[in-house]
Structure 1
Amino acid sequence: MIRALHRWPGLLAFALVTVLALSGAALSIFPAIERVAAPRAEAGLTVATLAGRVHAAYPGVEQIRRSPSGRTTAYWFDQGMPGAAAIDPATGKGVTSADPNKVERWLTNLHRSLFLGDGGRIVMAAGAAAMLVLSVSGAALIARRAGGWQRWFSPLRGPLAGRLHAEIARVAVIGLVLSSTTALWLAASTFDLLPDGEAKPAFPAQVSGATEIAPDKIAALRHLPVAELRALSFPNPGDVSDVFTLKTDRGTGYLDQGTGDLLVWADPTGWQRASETVYMLHTGQGAAVLGLVLGVMALAVPAMGGTGFVVWHAGRRGRPRLRGNQPMARAETILLVGSEGGSTWGFAATLHAALSGAGQRVHTAPMTAFAPGRYECAKRIIVLAATYGDGAAPASAKGFLDRLNTAENAPDAAMAVLGFGDRGFPAYCAFAKAVAAAAEEKGWSELMPLGTVNRQSPQDFARWGRALGQALGIDLELAHQPVLPVAETLTLVSRRDYGAEVQAPTAILRFALPRPTFGQWLTGAGFTRFGAGDLLGILPEGSPVPRFYSLASAHRDGFIEIVVKKHPGGLCSGQLTALEPGQTVSAFPRRNPGFRPGRGHAPLILIGAGTGIGPLAGFVRGNARRRPVHLFFGMRHPDSDFLYGEEMSTWQEEGRLARLVTAVSRGVRPNYVQDALRSEREEIVRLVRAGARVMVCGGRGMAAGVSDALAEILAPAGLDPAALKAEGRYVEDVF
């Protein structure tokens, strides 16, 4: 609901809100210019002295006004002709025209009414309302994305356009809410929808009847600083019943034109003070710096509009169009989708079509739209959930578990959960498992046990679909064709070969970084944003199923690098290790956020063997801040497969690598990486106590041996790998 409330006003009112914001930003400059350019009054100058100077220069003066910015303007009649000028308080004489310049007048008319009079004012008020809705709903979405209001400024992830949209918004949203709210207040005041509230004292019934007291002789003005003056109106010449009208920050009063006595006074009402504050906040008059800040924040509107459109368009492109998607209140089957990159939506579309073809009324929506109170006819709810990183909720499932846990009762409809993931990762379908566990704890009835789909397998999906059909009492065949990410052609620029002497041919392959399109740069698609530890999907010839390799480089390195070992009969590894410089492969990147070194300066303990050195070497290469990195590397023989051996000494000299410990399994004294860890047990304990993060990359057997060795090493210190994993300080990338 919040997302729709944010999306549609933005799409429909983008042009109007942009005009409103840009014209407001331009107008915010003028109060600052006026404050700087206005002649300054000398210290201690009183209204009496100022009025005397102006009256001497312009005997027919009718009124003196002082704006919150400090500009003083006089209005007079000279031989029946009106005149006005901004004056110098030191002389009382005019120094420049009182009228705003043509640019300011043009911008003001554009900003207030689009040059369309009252009709235009209504349109611009609607634009301000749209901006307020966008700001409030956007703030709610950012809080949800960040994990709560208390984590408002926590780091964000996702494509560049989405991150830019959110980063700009969470800085500018306060200013936009303030500007739009005050704009609506002023619009309502213009159409008399709010009470006037101005303090207007009753006109005095008795005056002295005398005239022409010199303004500099009036006692009330002689003790009033110019800084407090709003306006001083002079009595009409020859009218003995008229009075001086004085407006200050503290109220409004009338002064006898013959004696200068204060006849009556009225303090400002609370409503008047509120209205003046709103005017100051919106225009910057009297708060030039604040006005400039709000003007800069208004410039965020077109930027957020552009990035928001890109996000919306990418979301539509990544989400399949569902035919016959029934309203949630009428549907008997609810499909909820939790997807990060969009692939799970493809499976949902296949299931949606199959169930609809079987006569079911189906409503499909993201998990963020979970609204059990509106599922009036639902008999079953099916959740298709991917996992992001190390067990986190994917983008379209943010907040689902919170809403489920806070719901008073579980929905009446039975539930089925299908998880999507990769068995090569420790957190395989972890989010789907968390959903199933939370539903069970809530007492939600189970339609069928938790199912899983490994590596987008159509066979796993079809097998689960047949089981679902049996549970529903219908024939259900799910023939799904996964849509792979768009692959790009990578050209090999260099290769380094290792391991032939130990019958383990291995190569470090470096590919040229393809030039991104503008659309890719803006959305973060393709190879515009990747880091060491992310994955490179390779599409081998003769197979529709990609193979994934850990990246040993980051985008900032300017190249794409992987480490590949040739496996007997391996289709992809065989093709890769046969590549020569100049030849190409089709590939695409995949994020792997669960295997990142993280921020901060806490030590890193990197543990790898064989090709597992790839991402670890990438972390060391990217350690420009000289974070303490301790690398434990296992190899067969240093003369054959010491991968990145040439760079290690350089990295140590540059401070990127604090310590290197190697383990050789075919040397004079064979040992493995877990043996190297045991030999450094005291140092390991010290580093872990200092907050070190442990990162392990390599085969499953090696990873299991490392886990056992660390459990043995840390136990005397009251620590263990399981606790480190729970804290996010022990992560693995195993294959």
Structure 2
Amino acid sequence: MLRALHRWPGLLALALVTLLAVSGAALSVFPAAERIAAPQAEEAMSVADLATRIRSAHPGVEQIRRAPSGRITAYWFDGGTPGSAVIDPATGAGVASADPNPLQRWLTNLHRSLLLDDAGRIVMAAGAAAMLVLAVSGLALVARRVGGWRRWLAPLRGPLAGRVHVELARAAVLGLLLTSATALWMTASTFGFLPDEGPPPELPSAVSGRVGAPLASMPRLAATPVSNLHELSFPYPDDATDVFTLKTGDGVGYLDQGTGATLGWAEPSGWERISETVYMLHTGQGAPLLGLLLGLTALGVPAMGVTGLSIWLAGRAGRPRIRDNAAPGRAETIILVGSEGGSSWGFAATLHAALTRAGQRVHAAPMSAFDPARFSGARRYLVLAATYGDGDAPASAKGFLDRLDRLSAVPAAPVAVLGFGDRSFPAFCAYAKSVAAAAETKGWRLLLPFETVDRQSPQEFARWGRALGEALGIALELDHQPVRPATSTLTLISRRDYGHDVQAPTAILRFALPRLCLWQRLTGQGFARFEAGDLIGIVPEGSPMPRLYSLASGRRDGFVEIVVRKHVGGLCSSALTTLEPGGTVAAFIRRNPGFHAARDRTPLILIGAGTGIGPLAGFIRANASRRPIHLFFGMRHPDSDFLYREELEGWAAGGRLRHLSTAVSRGTRPRHVQDALVADQPEIVRAIREGARVMVCGGRQMAAGVAEAMTRILQPLGLSAEILKAEGRYVEDVY
């Protein structure tokens, strides 16, 4: 519901909200420019002094106005001819034209009413209402994504469009809330829905009948500073019954032109004060810096519109359409999906269709939308959860465990949890396991024992489906056909072979960048944006199941590079290690922001063995800033599988690599990469003290040995690998 409340106003009113934001941002510049250009009155100057000087320069003056910016404008008649000018308060003389800026006037009419009348004002009010809904719902969605209000500034991960969208929202949401709310207030005031004006003072029934009292002798004019002036209207010449009308921040009243006595005075009502504040907050008049800040936040709206549209389109492409999705409150079966790349949604669609054919009312939703109050008719919950990275929640499951923990009572309907993952990774189904464990700890009754599906196996999914059918007392056959991901064709341009002498055939494969369409370039889809540490999915011919490899290059390098070792019986690795230049593969990019080298000067300690050197080499290659990088690389034999040997030597000579330590596991004095760490303990301790970040890539056994060695090395500092992981200074990409 919350996502729909955010999505549809954004999509339907995108052009209108963007027009409001851009025109408002342009208008925010004028108050500041006016403040800078307008001559300002001295702080101690009174209205009496100002009026005396202006009357001396323009004897026929009829009115003086002071704008919130401090600009003073006078209007007069000279021989029957009207005149006006911006006034220099020091002399009372005109210094600039008082005519309104035509561009500002045009932008104001566009911003308020689309250059139309009341109908345009109503349309723009609808746009402001849409922006308010977007800001409020976006506020809640950001809190949900980062795991609660206390984690509002927590680091983000996921696709670039999503991260940019949320970062802009975090920076702009308060400004947009203020802007949209004040816009609606001003519209309501314009149409008379708010009592924004108090009653004026009663017109004086008796005046002195005299004229010509010096302005300096009028007590209220002499006591009122120019900074508090709004407007001073002079009496009509030769009319002894007319009076001065004075409007200030303290109220409005009348002054006798013969004696200077105050004949009536009315202080502003509470509504008037609120309306003036609202006007100031919305326009920046009187607070130019605030106006510029709000204008700057408004400029985030077009960018959020583009990234939001990109997220929506990517979501539609990555998530299959689920037909006959029952309303949340009417569904008997609730399927909650935790997915990062979209594959789990495919399994959810298959399960949804099978249960629907069996006569069930089924509703599928992301795990992040978990709210038992919405699912009042639920008789069972089925959780299909993938795992992101090292046991983290996937994108559509953010906040699920926090919501479960906050429940005062778990749902009466039982739950079944099914995990999706790849057994070749150490954190196989770790997030799904944590969900099942949390449910059991909370006392949530289990419909089925926890199960897993390895590498999107249709057979394992079907087996789980039969067990579910037995628990429900229905025949349930889940015939899932994995959807082949959208891919691009990569052409191999070069290869370098290693490892044959140690019975570990390995190749560094370099592919040409595929051609991109304009939409891909604009939205960053496909191979338009990637960097070392991201993952490339290779789909072998005759199989819909991709194999993921860490990238050893970034988009700026101008090529796609990976390091592949041949595995016995490995369909994909066998095809890649025999691929010749000119051959092609089908591939796609999967972002892996948790294993990126940040663009700063923080030292890096890179640790890898075998093909794990791939992304580490990419980090060094991209180190144009010459940040301190220490590489520890393990191999079997330097004459056989010293990957990137020539490049590493060149990078060291060019300053991109500060320190290289190798470990050779075969030979007369074998040692592993963790042994190299222990041998260089002083260097590691020094780098950690300087704030170094540790990045490990390679096999799980190697990673475990490295973590143990690092903990021993860091013990004198009161640190460990686990502590550094918790601080975000120790990351792994292991398999």
| TM-score of the aligned structures, taking structure 2 as reference length | 0.91
- 1:491-530 maps to which residues of 2 (within 5 A)? 491-530=491-530
Maintained 8 Å contact 2:340/2:396: yes
Maintained 8 Å contact 2:158/2:592: no
| Offset at residue 359 of structure 1 (A) | 1.0
Structure 1 stretch displaced more, 663-672 or 684-693: 684-693
Maintained 8 Å contact 1:161/1:310: yes
**Distance in structure 1 (CA, Å) of the matches to 2:601 and 2:658:** 13
| Offset at residue 261 of structure 1 (A) | 2.9
Partner amino acid, structure 1, of 2:260: G
Maintained 8 Å contact 1:160/1:522: no
- Matching residue of 2:544: 544
* CA 143–194 in structure 1, closer or farther in 2 if over 3 Å, else same: same
- Matching residue of 2:18: 18
Partner amino acid, structure 1, of 2:484: L
Structure 1 stretch displaced more, 411-420 or 124-133: 124-133
Q: Deviations over 1:422-445 (max 9, x none)?
A: 112222111111111111121111
* CA 240–166 in structure 1, closer or farther in 2 if over 3 Å, else same: same
Structure 1 stretch displaced more, 4-13 or 408-417: 4-13
Q: Deviations over 1:292-342 (max 9, x none)?
A: 332333233233223222222222222211111111111111111111111
Q: Deviations over 1:393-441 (max 9, x none)?
A: 1111111111111111101111001111111222211111111111112
SS at match of 1:309: helix
Count of paired positions: 735
Long gaps (5+) in structure 1: none
Partner amino acid, structure 2, of 1:443: G
* CA 80–149 in structure 1, closer or farther in 2 if over 3 Å, else same: same
**Distance in structure 2 (CA, Å) of the matches to 1:157 and 1:731:** 14
Partner amino acid, structure 1, of 2:422: D
Partner amino acid, structure 1, of 2:335: L
SS at match of 1:317: helix
* CA 691–301 in structure 1, closer or farther in 2 if over 3 Å, else same: closer
**Distance in structure 2 (CA, Å) of the matches to 1:721 and 1:53:** 76
Once the two structures are aligned, what percentage of the paired residues are identical? Answer: 70
- Matching residue of 2:486: 486
**Distance in structure 1 (CA, Å) of the matches to 2:638 and 2:647:** 14
* CA 597–42 in structure 1, closer or farther in 2 if over 3 Å, else same: closer
| Offset at residue 135 of structure 1 (A) | 1.5
SS at match of 1:541: coil
**Distance in structure 2 (CA, Å) of the matches to 1:235 and 1:444:** 81
- Matching residue of 1:261: 261
- Matching residue of 1:371: 371
**Distance in structure 2 (CA, Å) of the matches to 1:692 and 1:429:** 30
Maintained 8 Å contact 1:199/1:267: no
Partner amino acid, structure 2, of 1:453: V
1:429 pairs with 2:424: no
Structure 1 stretch displaced more, 68-77 or 377-386: 68-77
- Matching residue of 1:117: 117
| Offset at residue 717 of structure 1 (A) | 8.0
| Offset at residue 519 of structure 1 (A) | 2.6
| Offset at residue 266 of structure 1 (A) | 4.2
Partner amino acid, structure 1, of 2:401: L
SS at match of 1:235: coil
Maintained 8 Å contact 1:336/1:365: yes
**Distance in structure 2 (CA, Å) of the matches to 1:333 and 1:482:** 23
Long gaps (5+) in structure 2: none
Maintained 8 Å contact 1:38/1:70: yes
1:474 pairs with 2:474: yes
SS at match of 1:607: strand
| Offset at residue 81 of structure 1 (A) | 6.2
Partner amino acid, structure 2, of 1:438: A
Maintained 8 Å contact 2:551/2:615: yes
- 1:710-729 maps to which residues of 2 (within 5 A)? none
- 1:337-356 maps to which residues of 2 (within 5 A)? 337-356=337-356
| Offset at residue 480 of structure 1 (A) | 0.9
SS at match of 1:606: strand
Partner amino acid, structure 2, of 1:341: G
- Matching residue of 2:275: 275
Structure 1 stretch displaced more, 603-612 or 34-43: 34-43
* CA 91–705 in structure 1, closer or farther in 2 if over 3 Å, else same: closer
| Offset at residue 6 of structure 1 (A) | 1.2
| Offset at residue 190 of structure 1 (A) | 1.7
**Distance in structure 1 (CA, Å) of the matches to 2:278 and 2:730:** 53
- Matching residue of 1:174: 174
SS at match of 1:374: coil
Maintained 8 Å contact 1:243/1:256: yes
- 1:160-239 maps to which residues of 2 (within 5 A)? 160-198=160-198, 200-222=200-222, 224-239=224-239
| Offset at residue 604 of structure 1 (A) | 4.2
Structure 1 stretch displaced more, 134-143 or 23-32: 23-32
Maintained 8 Å contact 1:386/1:394: yes
| Offset at residue 204 of structure 1 (A) | 4.3
**Distance in structure 1 (CA, Å) of the matches to 2:463 and 2:311:** 35
* CA 78–661 in structure 1, closer or farther in 2 if over 3 Å, else same: closer
**Distance in structure 1 (CA, Å) of the matches to 2:721 and 2:79:** 95
- Matching residue of 1:403: 403
| TM-score of the aligned structures, taking structure 1 as reference length | 0.91
- Matching residue of 2:390: 390
**Distance in structure 1 (CA, Å) of the matches to 2:96 and 2:679:** 85
**Distance in structure 2 (CA, Å) of the matches to 1:636 and 1:401:** 43
Maintained 8 Å contact 1:72/1:88: yes
Partner amino acid, structure 1, of 2:166: A
Partner amino acid, structure 1, of 2:491: T
| Offset at residue 346 of structure 1 (A) | 0.7
Partner amino acid, structure 2, of 1:310: S
- Matching residue of 1:47: 47
Partner amino acid, structure 2, of 1:583: G
Maintained 8 Å contact 1:64/1:233: yes
Maintained 8 Å contact 2:493/2:510: yes
Structure 1 stretch displaced more, 633-642 or 345-354: 633-642
- Matching residue of 2:650: 650
Partner amino acid, structure 1, of 2:145: R
**Distance in structure 1 (CA, Å) of the matches to 2:57 and 2:602:** 73
Q: Deviations over 1:250-277 (max 9, x none)?
A: 3333322112233444444444332222
* CA 474–202 in structure 1, closer or farther in 2 if over 3 Å, else same: same
Q: Deviations over 1:569-612 (max 9, x none)?
A: 54333332233333322222233445445677665443333222
Maintained 8 Å contact 2:468/2:476: yes
Partner amino acid, structure 2, of 1:236: Y
Partner amino acid, structure 2, of 1:50: L
**Distance in structure 1 (CA, Å) of the matches to 2:716 and 2:55:** 92
Structure 1 stretch displaced more, 49-58 or 369-378: 49-58
| Offset at residue 360 of structure 1 (A) | 0.8
Maintained 8 Å contact 1:390/1:594: no
* CA 444–569 in structure 1, closer or farther in 2 if over 3 Å, else same: closer
**Distance in structure 2 (CA, Å) of the matches to 1:419 and 1:148:** 25
SS at match of 2:549: strand
Structure 1 stretch displaced more, 64-73 or 205-214: 205-214
| Offset at residue 14 of structure 1 (A) | 2.1
Structure 1 stretch displaced more, 31-40 or 551-560: 31-40
Q: Deviations over 1:14-36 (max 9, x none)?
A: 23223322332333333334334
**Distance in structure 2 (CA, Å) of the matches to 1:694 and 1:260:** 80
**Distance in structure 1 (CA, Å) of the matches to 2:121 and 2:592:** 51
Maintained 8 Å contact 2:354/2:477: yes
* CA 208–542 in structure 1, closer or farther in 2 if over 3 Å, else same: closer
| Offset at residue 202 of structure 1 (A) | 4.1
